[in-house]
Amino acid sequence: MTYLLDGQEINNLKKKIMKTFYVLLFFITLTSCTESDEKTKEISINNQWSLTMYEPGFTATKNYNTRQIMWNFQIDGNLIVEVENIVDTPPILEDGSYTYSLNNNKITINNVEYDYSLSDNELIVSDDPASDGFRATFVKINE
């Protein structure tokens, strides 16, 4: 027994397949967005960060060992900077306590505004490196 589909039945079948495809695509997209949003919420600047590389524009890049220069961003808006004695002239900030605030991709430290970007394990603070400003790269210290 042979069953032949006419033009109308073929069009209805195509529509059902397309609906199923779009519903499946919608749920995949919805699920993907939820996971991405959750990951974004977990990334926080409130942590200890070790300066590993300081690029001061057109002069030589300076590399630092882990924990030589530490920035500890605290939830209350304080930044504690600790510099080991072997570092003669620390870039950006010396030992001490500073205030900071975040606004979009800007960080203000003691009323001086910088750009910043943050990922899981890397923090970059910069001051227009394209026009001879600095770029400082930090790694997260997991205790």
Taking CA 132 as the corner, what is the angle to CA 128 and CA 133, rounded to the nearest 5 degrees? Answer: 40
Q: How many whole angstroms separate alpha carbon 121 and alpha carbon 101?
A: 20
Read off the pTM.
0.69
Consecutive 10-residue averages of pLDDT for the chain (143 residues): 66 71 62 51 86 93 96 97 94 96 95 94 91 94 81
φ, ψ for residue 66, nearest 5 deg: -55, 135
